[in-house]
Structure 1
């Protein structure tokens, strides 16, 4: 079990130590220091804060302290009243938001990204107010200060008016940001649940869902635990409960008993869900398992995480994540973070997990449930009697021998059904000793394992030898055997497993398997034991590999929804079998071909499984299979989708080298096109163009016009972004002619961009509407989001502001639903440009701030710098040159970090221009000089112009230019 990770909100010397700020304030007052000294103490503490919800309590206290200072103001007190009223309004908003977070169980969460910029502005505003108050609280400065203050009353009134303007602007920003935050959440929720409205409408039905497993037939000795959990569920809404304990101790039985209890049924009705996590070997697989239980598909293109969280928020259900240790062990940090999001919704969550440690980052309901212990002797014997109908001294000896562990007691009791407890006891003594001697000390059988082994030797299994083989195959499949696929599996195994259904009956009678949700499954302790001790023989493994190859490699998967749904249902099984087979397969080329097709399907379903492709590439390299390059090419493209651009670049370069050496021109061309996409995102334009031209030439050499069309589309986009209009028109038109219907909506989107650039807005509107319609027919939410976003930009340019706002908000909804941070950032940029046109500069500032934060999260340094540059212009329009300077400096640093020298020089020149408007001539000269040094190496024309501009400053400086 992974060790609990440290809480990031408590790892810094920040507001998590709640006494630091009051102590600083007390020290300041006791020293009779000035108000500005108090401000220094407060803000030095603020600068260390991790912006999390504990921070809200402190910022609220700081605001309250500001309001209290008004009693120390000796002049202009009436003018300060308005400032203090607005500060108190901000404090009340912060308090309400903090209380909402705590009620939602998110007391340690990070602040929403939409709000961080508002708090940064608030901190700056507090600093300015503190410094201003220092002038007006003259008591500590003597009579001379008061006399001076009276003489400078007009100047001081302007200072108060500026403070009031700043505070009012922050107050307006908070109102705007909270509205935007709420709008984003509503859009995400609505977009994710809208396709499943009929499903959610049925959730209040009193009839049980067939996907919910039946309650345990026998559950003895667990009344106290079940009662405690039910009490927390009914009185701590929403409850978050972890049922911990060792394997076979009864965690799943307790959870099911809770889900089927009258009180829980009355509260949640049909909103009760049980998710078996056995097949979830990571966070993505866990999300898919949850979606399956919810009855939600991935066909709409909405990000799976968004769907899960939106469903949980909309339904206020109760969900049990059983055997949670499987995904948690595989991917601790990602799974912990996902669980924290799940438990921040309005739904109740139960987790069962082997061990005694609970996942951190989740606010678990109190009191914490201790790990389940073995049954009392009385409860164990009651369990035995419920199965066998009677108990005796041998039954007592047996339950003691297995330490009263429920699963072991159940297995032995079922053995005793066909004989008697005395015979089972004799077998135990005889065979347990022999089996312990069979295994060395490092693999010694425990009582639980021996109980399983003894169950495998019962008469039912002996009479049906195929049952043990079926069990071996079953334990290799995390999801279990799909009952609807039994006939196909029997055909695939060609007599090796002739009667799976009969074997299923025998295994269920022996308590070695169970059925739920259309699958035959096994309990986790049994699965682990069988995998370790009774792995199927090679012929069975070969047939299992071939069967799942046939499932995952059907050529019509792109056009057949039924085939995609079949693959989707068995994703966990396919991945597990492929991983096992890659280590042992004698037909590796065919298997890797299947892995590549499977990866294509997963990508279409928004599942990016890099682990399987990495293993495939490694095995191909070890065994000299030519498919290594294709695996690397596909892997590089997955890294591109995951915004891991350095990994994408390195992996694609390796693939290109392999395909070039092998003379595989089509694969080489495909790799070059993917690499060009990476370069475009990295703003490496010359490198991207070179890769695309080479790709197009290779496609022509192979007479592959469809591949050439794909490359020309990307090349046309590159030319358009570089304002190479004629080349873009020619290239995109050729791509449209060669590509046919499959690429038409994407190329039309680029034509819409292009027509906007040249001012042909009517034509832009026409082609974008057609693109949006085509993307909607294809159920491509992301593509449609891009179309309507661009329409919003076009309508802004046409002065159709209401239509622009509606389109941009629709785009924001679509991009939020598909998890596209980049798309959302450009939606906010579009809204900001719209607000500038409407002279709503405060709203424009908030929208640009949101865009910049999304770009920061996505690692889009250059795009973030572009946004800050535009925000600088908004601040200029608002008469806030200091803010303009701050964001420009941030933009310069971002471009320096991204290695974007040309952009860095442009921003330095812009900074110099700003300094001139502020009469800071020396600073302007310094900025121009830094820009000139960069231009000297990148742009000689710009360098010469810069030198001329610097010469013009000589007359305004007291010293000559160096």
Structure 2
């Protein structure tokens, strides 16, 4: 034993020689003794206060913290590490004594009750952990245990959070003695330069009165907020971003989590070009209910927010996001990032701009237009008219024309309701004035003009200058929008067009969809009605590119055809615009018109808006042939679409103009085709009369006279279509087959030499018919295969008909499996024509039936 003491004494002697400090374990013992005495005094004071406070919840809290300190005093070995916890327990005692002095149980329904509940949860958690540590020590047959310092630090931080919440909520509660406010703030907060007595609770906005079609979106975003995600809600003006976020902050899950610490900071009404960092921070602090002073507002705001969880909405964030572009205001984004990094703080911003603060993990959500159903409910909730049900379809079309834009729907419905417009009057007002109807009042919530001007006045848009407005006007002019892949080629006079479009997209003035830059309908109407017309230079650029593309098309899927297919609606719009506005002698436009229609008929059959523009072409000697060509290609397009009445009318109009222009061959071709269409409609007498009338007319006599042998020797290629159909008619009416075959072969060679594929088609079809009737099935198949080779990839309808014909021939040859395969191939390769052209569909169906009948499948046939 003495030996051990000697070693200890020697060891302590060596330590004392190195310095005058007391040995470590001696110093620790003194600290623990001092701490034990402090704990005893604090425990006694807490127990005395517990007997005085009138609120049972407060009594329970005081009892719990007294128990915590008693356990620390009796069984915890590292008592000195609990200094901060003990200090906070003293603060809790003083706060509860003052906060509950004049309070009643009724006060627990308000802010004081919420604060006490949170404090009770926190101290119970600490008590449970400390008691658990005691039990662990007991079972290990030890009477003292160590508690990890990190765990103690976590308890300390939690108490800081709850005390901050208690401070904020308790001092704003009704009925609390204001003499306590100053003392409570001194106890809980040591924040310099903050004018604490002027802290006040700012109530967030209430639930929007009208919010339709956003339930799923609000639920989705609420879930993200509850799971501590920062949100950026992006969209153009009037899309309802602010309404959506006001709905979110009033959701039960959100109010339960954040209670009164839901802050709504709006930067609406501030000028992005004049905002300063100080303005930004003062606005921010004001919405939190605090006043800042001094040179470090971020630290003051961060201290306030660090006390408890908080949800902060930054509404109209484009204002400061635009301002932060300026070099002098580059400290705004870092300030937002610092606030976003505070534990428990969640940011939700609404903005027209996509330039959101960096270094924050935003979940970006685009706020889209309403669906039709929600748009209708919203409109008729405002506009209540006895005859609404009768005009429901018209109103539905009007809402669609507004692109279901919430603000526009709201303004239009209110205008109709306030002015007492009937549905008919409403539609007339819209057709007459368009976006002008959407300027019912002043302010961005009542006027489309004001919300548009807000976007156009943003510094990044203004910095684009006139080029920005020129690009926006062109995008609004083109119904499909601007093809982003072709923007540089379409607008060579705007060398920075890609950069311009990026800025317009960033500010939600335009949006990207399927490689096109588009604008919402209300923005398009505003630009057309109030901003500026498309720049003439830009229009000429677009016209030149599209016209050259149409003139250069070669195959179904070459580069030119791909452009026409992708931009076909834009090309159609430019042609229609030019037909209505160009001088009557602009031959290039008329040629582009019929070439474009021919492309549609062959590769993309659909209805066209060019019909009225073609009909309105002024007829004179310089336009007769040009207009005739447009009418003829329009007629063939209608024919392909099985719009037989419209096709007949177009053929008839083209026939008359060709006759006026002196082109008797084309006149005859139109008349014969017109007669064939009448026959297809079952109007046989009219068809026969038309053909007989042609034969009796002077023009027919002239045509017949031109078929003299002398004329054939001068130009043996003249009148090839008439000659081909003459000999095909001879065959149909029992003419000599050998003679017909000889003439058609000769005519086919002539057509091949001049490169006219349509004449080649007509001759080959005649030869195939003759071979089939003579049971020369191999020759028939060869002729049809030649047709497929000529038209496949260029004229899909002709290739389809030839393929169906091959299938019928194959069945006659006994190869029904090949026949079915060919029919199936025709359906797969040319589905558009099989569906859009009733005559082709019937031919395909009839061919299928013939095959099955030949195969003996009577039920299938």
Instruction: Name the TM-score class by shorter chain.
Output: 0.3 to 0.5
Query: With structure 1 as the length reference, what TM-score do the two structures score?
Result: 0.41
Q: Report the TM-score when normalising by structure 2.
A: 0.45
* Higher gyration radius (CA): 2
